[in-house]
Amino acid sequence: MTELSGSHVLVVGATGVLGAELSRQLAAQGAQLTLSGRSEEKLAQLAEELGDAVVGRAAADLGKLTGPADIAAAVYGRELDGVVFASGVVAFGPAVEVDDDTLDELVLVNLLGYMRLMRDVAPKLGRDSFVAQISAVVAESPTAGMAAYSATKAGLSAYGKALTLELRKQGVRVLDARPPHTETGLASRPIAGDAPKLPKGKDPVAVAGRIVTAIREGERDLPSSAF
C-alpha cells in the first residue's frame, strides 16, 4: 500500500481533463500537490479549486527545451513522494503525410520531455515513492491513422518498463497505465489532422479513480483491459 495522505506529488499535465481529475482525487486522498501545465491561468484556477492541497505550480511547456528543467525546479527543496505524468498531445493522419513540426511536437511532449524530466527528478524520489505514467491503449495496439502518436505512447510504455528495473533498488515503483479512449476532449484538439469517428470513451472520473487506486495499492502495470 502507498500512503497518499501527507505525500508530495508532482502532477505533470494537471490542466488537462484527466490530469485535473487525477489532481482532485489525489488531493481528496490527502496528498499535497505541485501542479504543472502549459497554462498559468488554468493552473491558477485548479490551484484555487484545490486550496491548501496545492503547495506549488509550474507553467511550463514540455515541447520546449527548458520545459522539463522548469518543472523540476518547482519541486527543488521539497521531499518528493510521487510523480504523475498525464501530459500529451495527439495528431491524426497517414504516417507518410505527418510533417516534421507535428512529429517533433509529438515526440517532445509525449516522450522526450518526460525522459528529460525524469532524469532530473527521479534521483530525488525516496524509498516507497512512485511514478505513474499515463500512456494509452495505442501502446498495446498501434492504430492506423495514428502511427506517430502510437509510436510515442509505445515508447513511453517501454521507457517506463526499463525505468522500473533501474529504480527498483532505489525503492521507487513505476506504474504504466494504458487506458482506452477516454472522454477528455483530446481528440477534438489534435495538433494535426482530424479525428476519425470514435466510439464513446470512458468516463475520465472513473479512469482517474482506477489509476489512483492502482497507485495506492502498489500496482505496477495497468493495461487497457483493467479499466
Q: Tens digits of per-residue pLDDT, 2-40?
A: 999 999 999 999 999 999 999 999 999 999 999 999 999
Least confident segment among 87-91, 155-159, 187-191:
187-191
Confidence of residue 159 (pLDDT cuts 50, 70, 90): very high
Q: Check: pTM over 0.75? Answer yes or no.
A: yes
Residue 92: name the closest of 188, 195, 203 by CA: 195
Flag whether pLDDT at 80 surpasses 90.
yes
Give the pLDDT confidence score for residue 128 in this predicted structure: 95
**CA separation for the pair 36, 40 (Å, rounded):** 9
Mean pLDDT on 159-173: 96
pLDDT (mean) for 101-119:
97
In which band, very low, low, confident or very high, does the pLDDT at 219 lie, cut at 50, 70 and 90?
A: very high
Q: What is the pLDDT of residue 197?
A: 85
The CA distance from 114 to 58, in Å, is 15
From the list 78, 76, 104, the residue with the least C-alpha distance to 191 is 104
Give the residue from 10, 14, 166, 196 showing the smallest Cα distance to 90. Answer: 196
- Sheet-wide strand order for 125-134: 54-59, 32-37, 8-12, 80-85, 125-134, 172-177, 221-222
- The mean per-residue pLDDT over the stretch 120-129 comes to 95
What pLDDT does 94 receive? 96
Among 122, 198, 127, smallest CA distance to 160 is for 122
Check whether 1 has a pLDDT greater than 90: no
pLDDT of residue 157: 97
Percentage of the chain beyond pLDDT 70 is 100
**What pLDDT is attached to residue 198?**
83
Mean pLDDT rounded to a whole number for the chain: 96
Does residue 195 surpass a pLDDT of 90? Answer: no
User: Looking at residues 85-114, what average pLDDT do you find?
Assistant: 96
Strands (E), the chain: 8-12, 32-37, 54-59, 80-85, 125-134, 172-177, 221-222
Rounded Cα distance, 121 and 110, in Å: 17
Q: What is the DSSP pairing of strand 80-85 with strand 221-222?
A: unpaired
Surface-to-core class of residue 37, CB atoms within 10 Å of its CB (0-12 exposed, 13-18 middle, 19+ buried): buried
Does residue 223 contact residue 176 with C-beta atoms inside 8 Å? no
147-168 mean pLDDT: 97
CATH topology of domain 8-226: Rossmann fold (3.40.50)
Among residues 9, 12, 6, which one has the least CA distance to residue 129? 9
